[in-house]
Amino acid sequence: MKRKFLGIDIGGTNIRGKIISEEGNTLGERKTLSDARMGISRLMENLAGLIEGFAGEGISAIGIGIPGTVDRASGTLVQAPNIANTRNFPFTEILSEKIGSATPVFIENDASCAALGEYRAGAGRGSNSIVMITLGTGFGGGIILDGRLWSGENGFAGEVGHMTINPSGPLCACGARGCIETYVSQVAIKRIVSEHAELSEKLAGTEESALPESLAELAREKDQAAISVWNGFGANLGVGISILVNILDVKTVVVGGGLSGAWELFIGKTLEEAERRCLGGMQRGLQVKRAALGDDAGVLGACYVAETGLGESC
């Protein structure tokens, strides 16, 4: 009998589920509210409810992408800054009890899932190794080397947002100064606009989450200050890419997340700076690609986590 894999992406607002066939075809999709801010118990209830909605589908394994640090081997959620009471939470054990099923459950970091999704079915298709950068509220990342997700020794690998690009730069939420996240993220855009009187005035009243798009519109209308912000954003992204490429020597960097919507406003400076700073320049055959799957990358990647997990546990 052919196998089916259920992938689940836990976001701040929604939990999304998708079933794929062995061939990678989507067989069904559902979503529900996550209520992640109301704590882990409520989240687990919602998650179990979503999974029960797929009952009778004959699922071989479940993969779950979680916004936090996970210990894959034991199925423990080590920490998740945006979900209350999650330190060292025995995630797969409790979920299996709740759904009363022996279907194997595998967990993974959500940014790693997105990287897997783009690697197998999106902009990274055909590559051996990729780094995926997700430009959202923060600056997230996932690393795939020679076809395998590199998660690190603690499951913390790919925290690329906390690469220092200026030791005396702005203070980051992590407590350090000058992490790339303080220059290239939604949080960064907010800071940069707030420090610029003219832009602050033009964008007054814009909600934080809408700020990058409004700033992009200004730039498309040829506002010089807005253009200059995106130029700086692009150049700093290029610095970050060059650091990753000098260390890892991958040929493909995929850039996704909400802020990649402003692609044409920053990518020129990104490539210019990356070329200047990558040893051996573009001789390396480096390609910086725009993510192709949007929000689907994470949930699809979670399906692959299910598939891979099952393969390794056989």
Q: List residues binding a second copy (CB under 8 A).
A: 69, 128-129, 141, 143, 145, 150-160, 162-167, 174-176, 179, 235-236, 239, 242-244, 246-251, 276-280, 284-285
**Least distance CB 143 / a second copy (angstroms):** 7
Cα gap 66→83, rounded to integer Å: 10
CB of 142 vs a second copy, minimal distance in Å: 11
Smallest distance from a second copy to CB 271, Å: 15
Residue closer to a second copy by CB (options 23, 153) is 153
- CA 48/CA 278 separation, integer angstroms: 46
Q: What's the closest the beta carbon of residue 42 comes to a second copy, in angstroms?
A: 26
Contact present, 56 and 38 (Cβ < 8 Å)? no
> For a second copy, which is the closer residue by CB, 23 or 146?
146
Say if CB 43 and CB 10 are below 8 A apart: yes
Residue 280: Cβ-neighbour burial (10 angstroms; 0-12, 13-18, 19+): exposed
In angstroms, the CA 153 to CA 156 distance is: 7
**Which residue has 């855009």 as its token pair?**
189
Give the nearest distance from C-beta 18 to a second copy in angstroms: 28
Given the complex with a second copy, which of 108 and 296 has the nearer CB atom? 108
If the CB atoms of residues 49 and 232 are measured against a second copy, the closer one turns out to be 232
Three-class HEC string of the chain: CCCEEEEEEECCCEEEEEEEECCCCEEEEEEEECCHHHCHHHHHHHHHHHHHCCCCCCCCEEEEEECCEEECCCCEEEECCCCCCCCCECHHHHHHHHHCCCCCEEEEEHHHHHHHHHHHHCCCCCCCCEEEEEECCCEEEEEEECCEECCCCCCCCCCHHHCECCCCCCECCCCCECEHHHCCCHHHHHHHHHCCHHHHHHCCCCCHHHHHHHHHHHHHCCCHHHHHHHHHHHHHHHHHHHHHHHHHCCCEEEEECHHHHHHHHHHHHHHHHHHHHCCCHHHHCCEEEECCCCCHHHHHHHHHHHHHHHHHHC
Toward a second copy, which CB reaches closer, 217 or 249?
Answer: 249
- Nearer to a second copy (CB atom), residue 210 or residue 247: 247
Minimal distance in Å, beta carbon 179 to a second copy?
Answer: 8
CB of 251 to a second copy, least distance (A): 5
Nearer to a second copy, 53 or 169 (CB): 169
Q: Kindly state the smallest distance separating residue 50's Cβ from a second copy, in Å.
A: 30
Q: How far is the CB of 133 from a second copy (least distance, A)?
A: 11
Tell me whether residue 84 or residue 157 sits nearer to a second copy (CB atom): 157
Q: Which is nearer to a second copy, 105 or 250 (CB)?
A: 250
